[in-house]
């Protein structure tokens, strides 16, 4: 019997928010469910969370785990909802804890979530702020620092001293730092998390072609395999929306 150490995290969205799909995901090997608060309402997420919890219990699974920017487009493209503006090498100076963020944390505590992943963590003090909010709520929910910019990469050692784990969020990293450096940065984040004894996750574009096709490409399979070989604790699949 082969023990799989790297866990599978699946993002739950409208296309996967049904009893039959969630059941199939769990039976296929999903270890943890992810809920992205950038989309949907608390009511929608609670409904989805309740489904995951209920079906997990049925299957006896051990654990499941407003600003406006005006700009001129330089090429023809389509914009989706809730996109942000990236300034490479520039820290926006925005607080990590917005009012919406505080509401999100309170909702996660109410729903007894296992982890909270904080976006664009740049400095260890930001994790301290999140931990402070959790302490006020009397919660032991663990924090995951999403490394998505140059400051986060530079401060990873200090961040890991405060955070319970880290995520190499390759999507935004690819616009915040030169894309050719992403593979080395990913390996560096994994290595430093292992050195610190903290869990590490890789996200973005894993098996991405399977959104449209029944089989992944050889390059995608290699991508996932390399993350596992490097010692990844979890890999996130985001195309299930």
Question: Could you say which DSSP state residue 120 is in?
Answer: T
Q: What are the CA-CA distances from residue 66 to residues 11, 49, 98, 130 (Å)?
A: 24, 26, 11, 21
Residues 201 and 144 sit within 8 Å (Cβ to Cβ): yes
Residue 144, number of CB atoms within 10 A of its CB? 22
pLDDT the model gives residue 70 = 61
**pLDDT tens-digit profile, the chain (241 residues):** 456 678 889 999 888 889 999 999 988 889 999 999 888 899 999 999 999 998 887 765 444 445 556 655 555 556 666 666 666 666 666 677 888 889 999 999 999 999 999 999 999 999 999 999 999 999 999 999 999 999 999 999 999 999 999 999 888 888 888 888 999 999 999 999 999 999 999 988 888 888 888 898 999 999 999 999 999 999 888 765 4
Residues 217 and 196 sit within 8 Å (Cβ to Cβ): no
What's the CA gap between 87 and 140, in Å, rounded? 34
In DSSP terms, 144 is beta-bridged to 117, 165
Query: In sequence order, which ranges of the chain are alpha helices (DSSP H)?
Result: 19-28, 42-58, 99-110, 124-136, 150-154, 156-162, 170-176, 182-196, 218-230
Q: 18-68 pLDDT, tens per residue?
A: 999 999 998 888 999 999 988 889 999 999 999 999 888 776 544 444 555
Residues 132 and 165 sit within 8 Å (Cβ to Cβ): no
pLDDT the model gives residue 89 = 64
pLDDT the model gives residue 73 = 54
pLDDT the model gives residue 64 = 42
């Amino acid at each position: 019997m082969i023990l799989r150490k790297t866990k599978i995290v699946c993002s739950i969205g409208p296309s996967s928010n049904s009893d039959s799909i969630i059941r199939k995901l769990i039976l296929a090997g999903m270890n943890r469910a992810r809920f992205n608060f950038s989309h949907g309402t608390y009511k929608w997420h609670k409904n989805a969370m309740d489904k995951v919890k209920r079906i997990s219990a049925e299957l006896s699974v051990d654990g499941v785990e407003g600003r406006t920017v005006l700009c001129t487009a330089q090429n023809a493209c389509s914009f989706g909802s809730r996109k942000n503006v990236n300034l490479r090498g520039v820290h926006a100076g925005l607080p990590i804890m917005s009012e919406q963020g505080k509401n999100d944390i309170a909702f996660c505590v109410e729903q007894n979530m296992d982890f909270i992943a904080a976006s664009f963590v740049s400095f260890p003090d930001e994790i301290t702020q999140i931990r402070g909010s959790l302490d006020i709520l009397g919660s032991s929910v663990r924090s995951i620092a999403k490394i998505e910019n140059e400051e986060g990469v530079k401060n990873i050692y200090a961040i890991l001293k405060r955070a319970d784990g880290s995520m190499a969020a390759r999507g935004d990293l690819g616009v915040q730092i030169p894309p050719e450096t992403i593979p080395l940065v990913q390996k560096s984040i994994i290595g430093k998390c292992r050195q610190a004894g903290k869990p590490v996750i890789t996200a973005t574009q894993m098996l991405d072609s399977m959104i449209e096709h029944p089989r992944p490409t050889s390059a995608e399979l290699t991508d996932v395999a390399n993350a596992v070989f490097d010692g990844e604790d979890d890999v996130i699949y985001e195309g299930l929306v």
